[in-house]
Structure 1
Amino acid sequence: MKARVHVMLKTGVLDPQGEAVRHALGAMGFDSVTGVRQGKVIDLDLAEGATEADVTEMCEKLLANTVIESYAIEMG
């Protein structure tokens, strides 16, 4: 079984990497980009019987800093 976790900074949290990407894209002529938020994707290979609740616990304890980040889980 596989799970994919998308981790992003919460709205309102400064994203210096996203801002650097936005600035670089503008310098390359991509003027239509007005904002960039950068995050991370974590792919997990899970043993049979693992549940979304297990992955949620992983996110809460390690994979995401829930003070400043939000996460979304895809099971499949």
Structure 2
Amino acid sequence: MTPTSSVNLDRFTAAYQKAGMFLLAPAKMMGASVPEPFMELRIAKRNIHIREAWQIGKNDPDIVALCKDDEPIIPAGVTAP
């Protein structure tokens, strides 16, 4: 997925800052149907660290959030990410 803007992330971070937490739950989605969350398996999270993909190194535990063929955009002027 390649978003055209950061509007969804901006909304999430604003809601998280207001609530001080978020819920994380697995979901099932068949084809183009609406996701069906399993709320009985939800967990409450009170901490999150959001950072740019180019800041994640190959030995960083957060590397699991990126696909092998992802090519994070490195900002101009950054020589050694």
Normalised by the length of structure 1, the TM-score is 0.25
* TM-score relative to the length of structure 2: 0.23
The structure that is strand-richer by fraction is 1
Q: Which has the higher contact order (CA 8 A, sep 6+)?
A: 1
